[in-house]
Every structure is written in structure tokens, then in C-alpha cells.
């Protein structure tokens, strides 16, 4: 029996829920902040999904990934402000560590889901899913 809609066997993955993708935080991301979050997701997968909260994003690697040097700081700040990324700044000559807020951290602390608190008043509301297979409310009676 083949299980459908699963990652390929042996292929790392990151969960992205419908709520996350439909959130104001995700839909408001600029291209460079989105690239930064994607870079962290790839790093998370490269580390076997066990180092969330201890992920590193060296400036050189972010530039190679497609974020121009002049936009790196803004992209990080934007992702953090939207609540998608937590930053633990180490200080002088100590690497900043990052965590994806919708995932459990390396020490088994639950996801903070800070992205749920972000609201963009200029963004149109995401339409609710409509199921065309179910009758409208109150019309589920059997035919006579």
C-alpha cells in the first residue's frame, strides 16, 4: 500500500500548515525576508530537524542564497518582527542563533507561534475555505 501526500522516503521536510501560510505574517513577507526564512528551513532540514533555535545564517551564505548584502539585516529584522523567527543575538564575534517559531525547539520547548500575533491592517482577509461537497447549514436532511 502506498501512502499518498507524504514526503519522499529519506527526504527531509518542514511542516508548513495552512494557518501559517494564510497568516498575515507569512503573506506580508517581502522577498528577502522570505528567502531568509527559506534559508533557515533548509538549515533546519540539513541539521536533521534537531537544532531549531540553534540555527546559524552566516552573512556570506545568505548572500550566496540570493539576499543582497544591503538587504540582509532588514530581511532578518522583518522575519523577526512578523514573528516567524526568533533571534538569540550572541554579541561581538559570537554568531546569532535562529529558531523557526512554528516548530518545536532543540530542547523540546513547544513552538511559540509568535506569527499568530502579527496583524497587517493593509492586507485583505484570507477567504475561508468553502467546501462544495457539503450542503449549506440547515440543509442536511435526507430527502422525503
Q: Which domains, and CATH codes, for the chain?
A: 18-117 (1.10.10.10)
| pLDDT, tens digit, 9 for 90 and up, residues 29-46 | 999 999 999 999 999 999
**Is pLDDT above 60 for 127?**
yes
pLDDT at residue 11, as a whole number = 87
Bridge partner residues of 55 (DSSP): 98
Q: In whole angstroms, what is the distance from residue 14 CA to residue 41 CA? A: 7
Termini Cα distance of the chain = 41
Q: In whole angstroms, what is the distance from residue 31 CA to residue 21 CA? A: 15
Bridge partner residues of 99 (DSSP): 86
| 3-class state of residue 87 by DSSP | strand
What is the model's pTM?
A: 0.82
| pLDDT, tens digit, 9 for 90 and up, residues 59-105 | 999 999 999 999 999 999 999 999 999 999 887 788 899 999 999 99
pLDDT at residue 135, as a whole number = 60
More confident residue, 128 or 62: 62
Amino acid at each position: 500500500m502506498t501512502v499518498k501526500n507524504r514526503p519522499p522516503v529519506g527526504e527531509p521536510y518542514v511542516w508548513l500548515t495552512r494557518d501559517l501560510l494564510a497568516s498575515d505574517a507569512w503573506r506580508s513577507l517581502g522577498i528577502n525576508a522570505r528567502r531568509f526564512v527559506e534559508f533557515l528551513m533548509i538549515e533546519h532540514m540539513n541539521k536533521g530537524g534537531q537544532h531549531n533555535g540553534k540555527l546559524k545564517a552566516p552573512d556570506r551564505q545568505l548572500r550566496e542564497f540570493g539576499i543582497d548584502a544591503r538587504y540582509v539585516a532588514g530581511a532578518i529584522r522583518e522575519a523577526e518582527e512578523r514573528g516567524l523567527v526568533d533571534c538569540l543575538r550572541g554579541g561581538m564575534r559570537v554568531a546569532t542563533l535562529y529558531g523557526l517559531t512554528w516548530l518545536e525547539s532543540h530542547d523540546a520547548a513547544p513552538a511559540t507561534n509568535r506569527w499568530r500575533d502579527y496583524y497587517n491592517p493593509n492586507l485583505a482577509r484570507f477567504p475561508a475555505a468553502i467546501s462544495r461537497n457539503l450542503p449549506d447549514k440547515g440543509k442536511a436532511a435526507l430527502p422525503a
